Amino acid sequence: MTLLLFLILAFSLFNLGIVLWVIYEHFFNTDIPAAIGHTIKLRTLHCLFLLVIIWAKICEKLRICSEMTFIRFVLLSVPVKMDPKLVVKDLCIGSVPVRLYQPKATSASLRKGMIFIHGGGMLIGSLDTYNSLCCFLARETNSVVLSIGYRLAPEHRHPSALNDCMAASVHFLRNLETYGVDPLCVTICGDSAGATIVASVCQILVTKPDLPKIRAQILIYPLIQMVNFHLPSYEYYKNTLFLTKRVCLTCVFHCFDIDFFWKTAVLNGAHLPPEMRDEYEERMDVHNIPERFRKKDYKPKSPGPFNESAYLETKQLFWAMNSPLFADKDIIAQLPETLLISCEFDVLRDDTMLYKKILEEQGVPAHWHHIEDGFHGVLSTFDKKVFAFPCALKILNIIVDFIKNL
């Protein structure tokens, strides 16, 4: 009995320590913007998020499982609900798992098609975690939706995710008739890291004239460049909940197998070669961001002294397949009509506006919607009932209206 009581006391104290850590991180190290509203809901959701993170770290330290495995397990614990108005099939394209959503109602003509690539920093996310979202898009737009379950880092480093998405996308485009899809009405959509892959896939597809052309691309708070982490949004919201600057860098380094030793060099811009600085700084000029998003006290940070070793270790971050903002202009000019959605309280906010600028300069129709009370990842809350935020449904309605009007 004494041993049992001791274990119960020790476990209680351990859990108390975890709760105190969560409270400390939430109230002292995280910015909670009042403009988002729904304060109690937001604080509760963020504390739960931190609780999952710390238990994931504990499991990794105890060698029970990796941090990512624990987080994925928690995400997959949410039940998957299918829509009675849809036919949903789990398939494999080669070794790539995909999920196909088709409306049950008969159609006199070919339907619109959508390729969906999920977010999650290329570390988490799955066909199941985005199932409700894909059901909504298929049902509300009367489209055939193909959701791609690409391989995740750190087990599978980039470009594994891009290769999987390219393989599935090419297969879908070559077999549109099989799926009852109009070859003139195929869109490709993604959020966060999924939107990064979407942008890269679109740039590759324009070089393949033997495939049907993508009608439109939809980028929801995308990471468009991995070179400058001192844009205004990175500075203003570096400690804002869910996707902080530190978390963003962690995702990038994990995906591209970059040692964290080079973190300071990347943050200082020391990995950017002198001969590339003019071209890259032109694309990332803060004056390409609307003035209302730049506070008067913001000062652009010049790159530090060039570090060749840092460049050699991180040079893949400059490649257009990873940072679509830096693609050749003749490639960008061929891109399809684009819907861009950004959220105010998001370190990636300015990436969207920089991409919008270069798309417009190259004559690509770009439709931009900015969610003033949005934060990174908010789209995933749309079906979470008590934890749903109104702006998540607003984003979905923007997407649905855009697709219907194509």
Question: Residue 15 has what pLDDT?
Answer: 85
Provide the sign of the torsion angle of the four alpha carbons 246, 247, 250, 251, taken in this order: negative
Element spanning 309, H or E: helix 308-314
CA distances to 91, 96, 189, 297 from 119, in Å: 20, 16, 10, 33
**How many residues in the chain?**
406
The token pair at 288 is 């390409």
Helices and strands, number each (H, E), in the chain: 14, 8
Task: Give the separation between CA 344 and CA 206, rounded to whole angstroms.
Answer: 31
Q: Which amino acid is at 351?
A: D
Q: Which of 118, 158, 271, 376 is catalytic?
A: 376
Residues 6 or more apart whose CB falls under 8 angstroms from that of 197 comprise 117, 122, 150, 161, 162, 165, 190
Task: Give the separation between CA 14 and CA 405, rounded to whole angstroms.
Answer: 55
Task: Give the separation between CA 378 and CA 226, rounded to whole angstroms.
Answer: 22
Per the listing, tokens 């194509």 go with 406
Residue 249 dihedral angles phi and psi, to the nearest 5°: -65, -40
Q: Which amino acid is at 288?
A: N
191 is known as an active-site residue: no
192 is known as an active-site residue: yes
Residues 6 or more apart whose CB falls under 8 angstroms from that of 14 comprise none
Question: Residue 303 has what pLDDT?
Answer: 87
Per the listing, tokens 């029970």 go with 64
Question: Residue 53 has what pLDDT?
Answer: 94
Specify burial of residue 120 (Cβ count, 10 A radius: 0-12, 13-18, 19+).
Answer: buried
Question: Residue 90 has what pLDDT?
Answer: 97
Question: Residue 295 has what pLDDT?
Answer: 83
Of 244, 207, 247, nearest to 123 (Cα)? 247
Task: Give the separation between CA 164 and CA 172, rounded to whole angstroms.
Answer: 12
Q: Which amino acid is at 317?
A: L
Under 8 Å between Cβ of 54 and 22: yes
Specify burial of residue 18 (Cβ count, 10 A radius: 0-12, 13-18, 19+).
Answer: middle
The token pair at 107 is 């159609």
* Whole-structure pTM value: 0.95
Of 136, 135, 166, 133, nearest to 148 (Cα)? 166
Instruction: Assess whether the previous peptide bond of 300 is cis (omega < 30° from 0).
Output: no
376 is known as an active-site residue: yes
Residue 305 dihedral angles phi and psi, to the nearest 5°: -55, 140
Question: Residue 50 has what pLDDT?
Answer: 95
Q: Which amino acid is at 260?
A: F
Specify burial of residue 335 (Cβ count, 10 A radius: 0-12, 13-18, 19+).
Answer: buried
Task: Give the separation between CA 142 and CA 404, rounded to whole angstroms.
Answer: 9
- For 114, the 3-state DSSP assignment is strand
Q: Which of 143, 191, 323, 346 is catalytic?
A: 346
> What is the second-level CATH architecture of the domain 83-406?
3-Layer(aba) Sandwich (3.40)
Question: Residue 144 has what pLDDT?
Answer: 98
Residuewise pLDDT in 10s, the chain (406 residues): 777 887 788 878 888 889 899 999 999 999 999 999 999 999 999 999 999 999 999 999 999 999 999 999 999 888 888 899 999 999 999 999 999 999 999 888 999 999 999 999 999 999 999 999 999 999 999 999 999 999 999 999 989 999 999 999 999 999 999 999 999 999 999 999 999 999 999 999 999 999 999 999 999 999 999 999 999 999 999 999 899 999 999 999 999 999 999 999 999 999 999 988 888 889 999 999 999 998 878 888 888 899 999 999 999 999 999 999 999 999 999 999 999 999 999 999 999 999 999 999 999 999 999 999 999 999 999 999 999 999 999 999 999 999 999 9
Q: Where are the domains of the chain?
A: 2-76, 83-406
Question: Residue 146 has what pLDDT?
Answer: 98
- For 270, the 3-state DSSP assignment is coil
Q: Which of 192, 200, 233, 323 is catalytic?
A: 192
